[in-house]
Chains A and B, each alone.
Chain A
């Protein structure tokens, strides 16, 4: 009798995990279906490509955030950091353009990667070595990075050199076999992220640090180092997002990346990663980023909602999606 109950329970367990894994994709499918019913223009290939390309920034940053959050941390500075990295990158490119021409783009991108990693390292070290709550540390660096970009732009905008603009544009607007470059870059980042999180020793240590840091420490995991590296990965992802972002509008402004941190965290949580750590869902985070972008798109395409109430409907849809998620994962 007891054994029977136990075996039923395990079978149930298996089912539960599977459902929870698919929940964000089911939610995405439902919203896409709704969009198609509301306005036939929604399914036009131009619109779909726009939406998927646009969600690349949040998706790329969300991959990094999945690492940070599943390690039990949080990073509120990603939006400001993106703006800061963008600013530095544009200044470097503009400075090198007269001497190196098109190569300035590649060198600028390299600098961006370094700056992003350093910003992440800075966050990570203060959190782990200084032993301060990640919420407070990244709230602080959020203000610092935002002030830096405002300072660099004098409150206005910092445009990229005209000679580089045309050469750099395809990184956002171009495509390979019909797939836009930002989407390809996102795919590479996601595959790399999934490999590191699910297939390496580091990934397992990261998740164990997030689910119970004491247990992880006793089993020989250097929790501080593991967490610091998670912030560095986040910084790298922010830099990659910045590299895709600059060619779109060709400028950094003090409002660049504003409130992106909230979108990123929302995408990660919708995707099934636990906000308290211990479970990471990379593909889910990508689905979350797509859900947010598709909802915004459907809102504009539908005529049902007053412009004053759009944000309320978006909020409600996110909450309903999460409730549905909870409902399916309890089955």
Chain B
């Protein structure tokens, strides 16, 4: 008997709770603006960072603007991203879409269809083939990543010396970084001994650097066009005990490398950002369009300033996976 009453009481309190919940929601202001965010799934360091910053932006913006609802969706391939766009726009009215497209060609059509329903389109990082689709474009500067690093290095080496370069996966991003770098180096007396692909992979970078070290008895500096690879490079140099390498530089702003910059590491005193946090900048700007009616149409190119011990804190996210 007492068991039964206890059960009844529990049931009653559960009912009371479930009644109270929607009531509480109704008291808060209704979220009437929806911003959808479509990004690649975390498959490597950089995209891991993108997912982290998108989720941070979601929390912060929803807390700051009670009328804005941010929906983050990740996709593991271009096809999956197209499907998720269809799902997102079919189930609700989207006021804005922030998208980091997997590929330019495949995503242009589907994004156009979302725009046709009156959605504000923000494109991040990789542009669509038809730029008229986007209302806002936010991207980093890959050429500057290479060029700024090269200028700093040329200055430190006094415009002469012998260096080796590790490049990533054959893509536009990789080509632009290498182009920015080698254009600047071409104006100096610095000689690039070797450039090979290491696929933005720590292990392959370690292996390649070991081979570089075996091949060249004297190397003044090494540039890996991504910080992930730089970690492999540093391990290989340390193990070989080579003291001739004055500088080992990367790029992207990975947190382990930012830590080295903060500690004023002599061999890796700088990095250059191509920050995954650009997704956060884009979400904030899109939110500004709706929350404060601050006009946000146009193209916005994030610069790639050198990360030095003085400004490293701005680029350091200790909780991010990247």
Contact = CB atoms under 8 A, between A and B. Distances in A.
Contacts of A101: none
A189 B80 CA distance: 43
Given A41-B214, A248-B235, A249-B232, A254 B202 contact: no
Contacts of A42: 214
B215 A301 contact: yes
A308 B52 CA distance: 34
A46 B214 CA distance: 7
Nearest to B322: A156
Interface stretch (A26-34, A147-155, A318-326): A147-155
Given A155-B48, A157-B321, A300-B212, A54 B43 contact: no
Contact of B214 (A153, A159, A301): A301
B320 interface: yes
A47 B214 contact: yes
A40 to B, nearest CB: 10
A156 B48 contact: yes
Contacts of B51: 154-155
A54 B207 contact: yes
A92 interface: no
Interface residues of B, number: 38
B44 interface: yes
Interface in A255-292: 255-256, 258
A310 interface: yes
A211 interface: no
How big is chain A's contact interface, by range?
20 to 34
Contacts of B167: 307
A155 B41 CA distance: 8
A50 B321 CA distance: 31
Interface string B16-60: 000000000000000000000000011111011101100000000
Nearest to A258: B201
Contacts of A157: 45, 202, 228, 256, 321
A297 B196 CA distance: 12
Interface string B161-177: 00000010010000000
B179 interface: no
Interface in A302-321: 307-308, 310
Interface of B is mostly: helix
Given A54-B210, A156-B322, A249 B231 contact: yes
Nearest to A255: B201
Contacts of B220: none
A157 B52 CA distance: 13
B222 to A, nearest CB: 14
A250 B103 CA distance: 33
Contact of B197 (A47, A50, A255, A310): A310
Contacts of A256: 203
Given A155-B321, A300-B211, A253 B45 contact: yes
A248 B44 contact: no
Contact of B240 (A41, A46, A297): A46
A244 interface: no
B277 to A, nearest CB: 14
A74 to B, nearest CB: 24
A249 B42 contact: no
B247 interface: no
Contacts of B231: 249, 251
A175 to B, nearest CB: 12
Given A153-B48, A253-B228, A300-B196, 14 more contacts: A42-B214, A47-B214, A154-B51, A173-B239, A249-B235, A250-B235, A251-B231, A253-B45, A254-B48, A255-B201, A258-B201, A296-B207, A297-B214, A301-B214
16 contacts: A41-B214, A44-B214, A47-B214, A154-B321, A155-B47, A155-B51, A156-B322, A157-B202, A251-B202, A253-B202, A253-B228, A254-B42, A254-B44, A300-B215, A301-B214, A307-B167
In the complex, the 10 A-B pairs of residues with the closest C-beta atoms, listed nearest first: A155-B48, A155-B42, A156-B321, A154-B321, A300-B211, A47-B214, A156-B48, A50-B210, A156-B322, A255-B201
